[in-house]
Amino acid sequence: MAQSAYSLSSTVKVNNGSSIPLIQLGVYMVSGQETMNHAVHTALGAGYRGIDSAEWYQNEREVGRAVRSFLSSPDNKASLRREDIEFTTKLKSNISYSATRKSIKRSIEESGLGYIDLYLLHSPYGGKSKRLECWRAVEDAIGEGEIKIGGVSNFGIKHLEELLASTPRVTPAVNQVEIHPFNTQSKLSKFCQKKGIVVQAWGPLVRGMRMEHHTISSLAKKYTCSPAQLLIRWSLQHGYVPLPKSVTPHRIIENGQVHDVEIEAFDMEKLDALDEHLVTDWDPTNTD
């Protein structure tokens, strides 16, 4: 990919032919309407076009309100419309077909955004039959226009193989997993990429836990960027879609400005070698 391709206006094509933004704003643990408005208005104003929420985060309502208030505000200098924004949300638990259909409808209602652009099974928990049953609900919701794109999150190779072997009507477009230099998940990400499943990287900033690591700070110095920009660029150069979270305006802007940070192959390898399988939150990729 050309260097200039790594910007907030860049997109990546998914397997149903549509595209999703290459860098998106994460909103895990962002709560309160004022904080959400501030983060979302800053992000959309800076050029972000995707927001990653979840039923679990209990902030779909705040995200929806913030997007809608941005669209009708003077901050909307690019005259964006609802269809220019990618709203992602996720199913909290794989309980049943009908519970999934209900959750999808509730997420749409909560957000007030009319439909969901990208809907993910948040985790593989619940066992094989529940996963496949809930995926059928996602397929039907896509058929009814409630969802544009379906995907999964925290699925390991065996969960993906099982879903692909079930001859689904819709192949998952995305697998969203924790990925950063300290947890590279290279086997899983290679598998996804081989199958044409886009890898979304959650926790791309390692939750701020390794900003002062000597390799990170020395490479950030070398490329005259911040540690966060280095981490985001690492993600992009591996072909992932990073979802950096911030509620701090200057960081939101900084995290989207990575087009001129080009990490050389030799330094990419140095970063890859930092892998320590660091799990910052949860790792359900090996569950039954």
Nearer to ligand NDP, 136 or 251 (CB): 251
Q: Does 254 bind ligand NDP (CB under 6 A)?
A: yes
For residues 132 and 130, give the distance between their C-alpha atoms in angstroms, rounded to a whole number: 5
> How many Cα atoms are found within 13 Å in the side-chain-facing hemisphere of 258?
30
Site for ligand NDP in 5-44 (CB under 6 A): 26-28
Nearer to ligand NDP, 29 or 78 (CB): 29
What Cα–Cα distance (Å) separates residue 185 from each residue in 178, 188, 201, 221, 223? Answer: 8, 6, 10, 26, 25
Q: Does 228 bind ligand NDP (CB under 6 A)?
A: yes
Question: Three-state SS for 68?
Answer: helix
Of the candidate residues 103, 175, 246, 285, the single one contacting ligand NDP (CB under 6 A):
246
CB 44 within 8 A of CB 67: yes
Does 122 participate in catalysis according to the annotation? yes
- 9: closest CA among 67, 78, 88? 78
Of the candidate residues 153, 175, 183, 257, the single one contacting ligand NDP (CB under 6 A):
153
Site for ligand NDP in 43-62 (CB under 6 A): 52
Does 57 participate in catalysis according to the annotation? yes
Q: Does 110 bind ligand NDP (CB under 6 A)?
A: no
Of the candidate residues 251, 259, 283, 287, the single one contacting ligand NDP (CB under 6 A):
251
- 272: closest CA among 175, 156, 183, 157? 183
- 240: closest CA among 160, 186, 285? 186
Active-site residue, from 6, 48, 57, 240: 57
Site residues (vs ligand NDP, CB under 6 A) = 26-28, 52, 122, 153-154, 176, 202-208, 211, 226, 228, 243-248, 251, 254-255, 281
